[in-house]
Amino acid sequence: MIRATLVIALVLVGVFFLTVGTIGLLRLPNVYNRMHATSKPTTLGTAAIFLAAFVQFGPGGEGLTALVGAVFLFLTVPTGAHMIARAAERIGVPFLGSVTWPDASQLAREEEPRADAERGAERDAERQPGTGPGPDPAADED
C-alpha cells in the first residue's frame, strides 16, 4: 500500500522531469542551453524512475540493479554532456551573447601552441560575419 503510493509518486516525479527536459530540448536557443536542459532534468527523472523500481522490487538482487543503474546515470550523463560541450566548442558552435568558456586558459593549454593561433584566427573569421552579438568573447580568448 505504502509501497504502491511511493512507486506512483516517484514515477510521477520522473515523468515530470523527463517532460521538462524535452521541453527544454525543443525550446531553448543554443546547443549549450539545450544540453543544460536535457542532461540535468533527464538524469533526475530517470533516477527517480530507477528509485521507483528499487521500491517496487525491494532491496534484493533486482532492486540492487536499479540502484546501480541510478548511480551509473549520475556518473555518465554529466560526463557525456561535458564531452559534447567540448566537441561543440571545438567545431566552432558560437556561444550566445556574452558567454565565454569558463576557463579560457584551459582551452589554450590543451591545444598545440602552433595550431592555436591559426585556429583562433579562423574562429574569429567564422564569428565575425555570424550572429554578431559576441565579438568580445572571441577577442578575450586570444
The residues that touch other proteins, with contacts defined as CB under 8 A, are 1, 4-5, 7-8, 11-12, 14-15, 18-19, 21-22, 25-26, 31, 34-35, 38-39, 42-43, 45-46, 49-50, 52-53, 56-57, 61-63, 65-66, 68-69, 72-73, 76-77, 79-81, 83-88, 90-91, 93
* Minimum distance of other proteins from residue 100's CB (angstroms): 18
Q: Concatenated DSSP letters for 49-99? A: HHHHHHHHH-SSHHHHHHHHHHHHHHHHHHHHHHHHHHHHHHTTPPPSTT-
* Minimum distance of other proteins from residue 94's CB (angstroms): 10
CA pair distance 43, 21, nearest whole angstrom: 9
CA pair distance 123, 35, nearest whole angstrom: 22
Of 33 and 100, which has the nearer Cβ to other proteins? 33
Type and span of the H or E element at 115: helix 113-127
Of 32 and 138, which has the nearer Cβ to other proteins? 32
Of 76 and 98, which has the nearer Cβ to other proteins? 76
Of 131 and 139, which has the nearer Cβ to other proteins? 131
